[in-house]
Amino acid sequence: MAIATETQSSAAAALQPSFSGIHHCSIIVTDLARADHFYREVLGLKPIHKPRTFDFTVLWYQLGDQHVHLIPSSEADAVSPRHMALHVSDARATRRYFKRLGIACRETTPIPGADRFFVSDPDGNLIECIQWLRPYDPEENAPPRDAIP
């Protein structure tokens, strides 16, 4: 096994691309019309045109500076903890909104400085709704210095 030298690490860092954020999230759905209703009407995402070069079915939505893409499939994606998280300005009001629509809200492990919960789309894809009450502080969440790794 080769160990990277400082010179190799510096060279690799010089070649490393600059990643600036997440552009889109693709979600597998089994019923495109039902999913379109959920993402457009329930979540309020704005539909946008897919690239005209795409000769396959996919729905695109604008979400802030990012996109959400719905990809149809004959089978639902495996249920897992994989999810996307949406910023909300008022988590309590968002919970009430979903409950009025009959959409279950699932509480989860707390994060200091945040109010968050999960909902699922009609195919069971998880969506986290998170309100940051203050900026996330990784140092506040670091293990105690005397903790055993």
Q: How far apart are CA 6 and CA 26, in angstroms?
A: 38
Mean pLDDT of 80-103: 97
Residue 96 lies in a domain: yes
Tokens of 9: 């690490």
Write out the DSSP string of 45-86: PEEEPPPTT--S--EEEEETTEEEEEEE-SSPPPP-S-EEEE
Residue 144 lies in a domain: no
pLDDT score for 6:
61
Q: Please choose, from the candidates 123, 95, 96, 99, the residue with its C-alpha nearest in 3D space to the C-alpha of residue 108.
A: 95
Kindly report the average pLDDT of the chain as a whole number: 92
**21-39 burial string, b = 16+ CB within 10 Å, else e?**
eeeeeebebeeeeebbebb
Residue 52 lies in a domain: yes
Task: Indicate the length of the chain as a whole number.
Answer: 149
Residue 79 lies in a domain: yes
Q: How far apart are CA 33 and CA 76, in angstroms?
A: 15
Mean pLDDT of 94-99: 98
Are 66 and 24 a contacting pair, CB within 8 Å? yes
Residue 125 belongs to a domain with what CATH number? 3.10.180.10
Instruction: Output 15 or 5, whichever has higher pLDDT.
Output: 15
Residue 141 lies in a domain: no
Mean pLDDT of 48-69: 98
Q: Give the lowest-confidence range in 69-73, 106-110, 143-147.
A: 143-147
Residue 91 lies in a domain: yes
pLDDT score for 38:
99
pLDDT score for 1:
52
Query: pTM for the complete prediction?
Result: 0.84
pLDDT score for 141:
86
Tokens of 139: 């140092």
pLDDT band at 148 (very low <50, low <70, confident <90, very high): low
Are 2 and 36 a contacting pair, CB within 8 Å? no
Instruction: Output 76 or 59, whichever has higher pLDDT.
Output: 59
Q: Please give the residue range of the domain that contains residue 67.
A: 22-132
Q: Give the lowest-confidence range in 9-18, 28-37, 72-81.
A: 9-18
Structural domain count of the chain: 1
pLDDT score for 15:
84
Residue 17 lies in a domain: no
